[in-house]
Structure 1
Amino acid sequence: MPRLSLVVPVYKVQGYLSECLESVLGQDYADFEIVAVDDCSPDGSGAILDEYAAQDDRIRVIHLTENVGLGRARNAALEKARGDYVLFLDSDDTLSPGALAAIAGRLEATGDPEILIYDYVRTYWNGEVRPNQRRDLLTSAGPDVLSLADRPQLLDLLQIVCNKAYRRDFIARQGLAFPPGYYEDAPWTFCSLISADRIAVLDRVCLLYRQRREGGNILGTVSRKHFDVFDQYRRIFDFVDAREDRAQWRAPLFRKMVNQYLTILERPGRLPQDARAEFFHRAAADYRARLPEGFRRPAGDRGHKFAMLERDAYAQMVSAMAAVKIRNTVKGRARTALHRSKRGAMSLFYQSQLRLPRDENLAVFSAFWSRGVSCNPAAIDAELARRTPDIRRVWAVHPDAMDTVPEGVEHVRVGSREYWAALARATYLVNNVNFANAVVKREGQIHVQTHHGTPLKTMGLDQQKYPASTSMDFAELLERCDRWDFSLVSNRFSSAVWERAYPCAYTSLETGYPRNDVLLNSTAQDVREARRDLGLDDGTTAFLYMPTHREYQPGFVPRLDLEKLAERLGPEATLLVRGHYFHNRSDRLAELRSEGRILDVSAHPAVERLYLAADCLITDYSSAMFDYANLDRPIVIFADDWDTYSVVRGTYFDVVAQAPGAVATTEEELAEVLCSDGWRGERAARARDGFRRRFCDFDDGRAAERVVRHIFLGEPLEAMPTVVPLDERIPAPPPGTAHEASAPISTYSSQR
């Protein structure tokens, strides 16, 4: 039997769950178990739990067949817990390093108390950390073990269960269980504290209590479910009524009850407007029914609100709250005016266009900061043209890229009057990055964020941990992301990352990436045409080299001696070199062109056709590897600066250890891999298969169809084509096989 049982209820936390579990499994104290409850979570949380359980037998997973809510999910775990002590850890929170050792040590030093209370801090998306405002109550001054009567102020601690360890036999003896509904922590917290005879405290931060920006706190949801608080306090006072020896806690609990009722009334994001009067009258009835004899109201403004409840004076309360709202509105308008002045006023023309009706049949597209017509937006555009030709499709294009727009594509120059008019009037805005800060999300507009790759390197808020990788204003980033209505996802891994990196109120659509449809739907003829367009002979082995951008290097700096590598590969091989989109039309690459042996394809308009033409992809940390894996063709990782890149930029996994194929860390190793069967041998194929099963979840050739039918045609997700299982997909055929039957590529010098 373990010393500690950690109860972890899980629901829609795939972006945070791994961090939570790692914070426990990485502790320097090992005598624990994790009882995790998948509360019928609709995302990938259940699968994440199973993956961890398969690797560590200290984790036991309970999968519920219906969603029962936080309290009853915890109850399900309590039935299976075996430890001497039970700790509750919400699945988006984490433990601090050394927390379990400190908790276990304090339990032993204080002779196994019934409850141990430890400290916590609140952590925020912007890196802010706020300490517990009543941490003074956790000082070890006084006796090591005390009762609530010795320190009654412990009731003033935040009403959460996750900063305490409870003796399991104490839980059973008191008959403690979590009730259904909102505010389920209140009955457990108050009833356990007033019941315990032996309480210990630990003046150490053990819990990092995450304050999520979006979707992390149901108490911030406007709903009649906040009426559950009346049932919770009924349970608390029923508990006290059944224990006459605890009657002295009526007055303190009454004060806690009234303060909580007032907090719910005062917070604008909780009660529906048409339910506020009803809630007030219910609260007033509880006030009068439970008012302890001789109770003294608090002083000041709070005391006036107590008095209003006692008199059931709803009209007076509304007037008082309206006055406060007016004051706050004036302050808010001043802050807004200051903010706008700092950002610069929007043009009068754009403002005038925003006042005009939306065009229900206008869609504006952009890709890669308006560098041209490409990527997921282009694939959606093409599908939209096939299915709904009545919708006008306009591309926003940067002035420097106007000459790259294909003939017949309607487009507007970024910054022009036509550009601002289109942004103001369009119903649909589709982009693989964000539109400019000045763009206003007007009512009824639909913003589609397609993204442009699976993240290996850290993105969004996760980059805060790697300041050398960015100079981004994260507050402005989230303002831009708040405009999203839909976020397209190509694999479950990305779903989890985006949820944490961009914590906004969008809907994730696990449709696959539309740009990758061509990789599943192309024919042998399409592959031959893609190669012919590049001048590749049938017998040529084409290696596509796609390095990623490095923030710590200016411009494109080839990490390979391309001419030397081409010489090693010999005349039967061609290097297709594509710089990152930050480095298009590189002068340096132009200098490296060699007759038929090195082709600079940086300016090629469709990377998907380069994928079709290539026999093998060579990359370092580019998201190209995730897309190319859909073809089930060889991939080679050239990671000569992995140690530097992973520290400076930060990554979500070790691509060297979990590569999609062969790995080389020096130019010589890379040449040896490419000049042998190493790049396409059995070992590389096994690695590629594992990689595809992890990252090629939804790309089955019908992503664009799903997007258009759901977003533009309004069809429900249930009507969308189901994703074809990976083993049943047939990707575009590889280039001609004649050269594959020949001997492995050897060094050209030896052939001469």
Structure 2
Amino acid sequence: MPRFSIILPCFKVQGFLRECLDSVLGQSYRDIEVIAVNDCSPDGCGAILDEYAARDDRLRVLHLEENVGLGRARNAGMPLATGDYLFFLDSDDTLTPGALAAMADRLDEADDPDVLVFDYARTYWWGGTRRNALARVLAETAGETFTAAEHPEIMDLLMVVWNKVYRRDFVEREGFAFPPGYYEDTPWTFPVMFSAERIATLDRICLYYRQRRQGNILSTTSRKHFDVHDQYDRVFAFLDERPHLTHWRPFLHAKMGEHCLDILAKPDRLPPSDKAEFFQRTAEMFRDRRPEGATVPPELRVLEGSWASYRLGRRSAQTRKTMVRRAKKTRTAAIRRVGRVRAAVNNRRPLDPDLVVYSAFRHRGVLGDPAAIYHKAKEIAPRLRGVWVVRSAQEAELLPPGTEHVLLGSSAYRRVTERATFFVNNVNWPNSLVKRPGSVHIHTHQGTPLKYMGADLQGKPGARHRVDVPQMLRRADRWDYSLVANRHSELVWERAYPCGFTSARTGSPRNDRLVNAGAQEGAEVRERLGVEAGRTVVLYAPTRREYRRGGHVDRVDLAKLAAGLGEDHTLVVRLHPSLATGPARGMGLADLHRRGVLIDATDEPYVEDLMLASDVLVTDYSALMFDYALLDRPIVIHADDWGAYTASRGAYFDITAESPGPVTRTEQELSEVLASGSWRDAESQRLRSAFRERFCEFDDGRAAERVVRTLLLGESMPAPSVSVPVARSVPADHDLLASS
């Protein structure tokens, strides 16, 4: 008996069907059967299904003699199912890699619940991906089983069939089936969720929900949308037959009203001549099905009135929106006029020689090199007033206590930026910030560059997608000083940003902590992360990819890597910060963290903590490797897509030829290197030593002090000593003038 019976109705999807089948049959989890129902499709679906069935005996094809529609096609497949769980997959959607294995693990953990609800992401025809906006509901209920009454927020998720799997004997016991009609998911999902005694959730994106360019069948203009009333009638009848579920009637009553008003409000759903009839049918049903004593939410009270009053209310709402937009536009114009006058006045006032404005990572908080400079300035130059720029009030709440700050774009922000003498940032300031004569802009960067930056992106159209390079250089024209940690960086920055700044050989201020840290700091971080004593900590920190929209590519099977390390190792994963809020963590990382397979440290604000807590770094092309080399701890480079990466983004040197440690090209090689211990042998030490000499030459542990004394206070301080001369340059065949 297979674990999953995947029922796959097919009708006019020949362009998507192969991709769907490949995503299912190519899963690492093999204990499945696929029941494909050819719903008398007039295109090539039947032939495609037969072709795949001939190659894989897990696929069985049922050819219907007439088209019966999606719901009844699913019904036709159910009697053939023998698996523990039913999974109704739409044949234009696809499973994500590892999805079935993750579902099976969660079902085992939850001791076979009635229903498992998992996450999905919308994928668009133009290549974009957007995660389910209510994914937090799955995270909040992870690790437990419950009823919908205990966690009613689960009913706020998209009420569709395909984001759940159902225990087959539960479905058979309750007699669930799909009725004919346009909205066939409604009379399935509500009764199932109402009836389930044990529901579990999986906080992982298991399915890509394809968004057709011309929309799905429910977005077409048709009288078929009247079917929604019949389907809700079926759900109410279901409750009528089960008195123990009658407490769901107020919820269903409100949900029905919301759903019908949503259909009515969309301009492309109903023919204009049918809208009054649809409203009247909805209002009658809303009145007839209203439970005794139920309170009608304010937004649904329009259903207690007439069609004319509904239309009048819609027009009034639209008029109010128009008036609000006009008022906002007028107010914005007035604010800009006042701002120009104020700026003209303030720009005549002298600069404040003790005012320093800081920002890091696009105003995310006290982080990186600017943070190290800020803290050192407070220590040795308390007369300097440091003010941080943050994006929002929410981020301001996360600042260390007592941190003076302003919100980006606020009047306070304008006041400090118009009067400050010093500006410290690791990214460019907004275009609106005008550099006053006498002000000093210090740009710290975000590490040693391996990949192309600035003007060098001109020759890489994929990497500069949505990047305005000329505008970037105009912002860089405001730099007075560019901090460098090595001469490689100095050469690259001066080529990549052909502006008028001075390179300052200070070292990287954020790395002072790595140079000066004692062993105890790492131990404290391990304890906070929950790492058991005596374990070897492997830090995996991949970077983003420009050849994939969204930047995330799964290069390593994290569960497999963690298992291969052994019980005496702990895998700590830190995604690139730009991927922290996207769908990347929903592809399995969050669930693996919850299950204790690994530690997801993507949200850790200080990456230095993770470096100090780890014994070895595994990365691909992340600039983190240059900082980590300061610890003189092993580094493994996993370069399985080096050719694709350099073709799309470009690199200043070949990291596979001048590596700080072993280089792997496949997952098997990576596992073998980590298992064998060769990552810490003499050859690894030799490679790391040469790497340190080249890229850590100015990091002497006093970089922040050097910036404060020489650039903020105007004092003298010895430059960092260079023990080993390094004469390296950017490849000669990379011609900046030619690329621009």
TM-score (norm 1): 0.49
TM (norm. structure 2) is 0.50
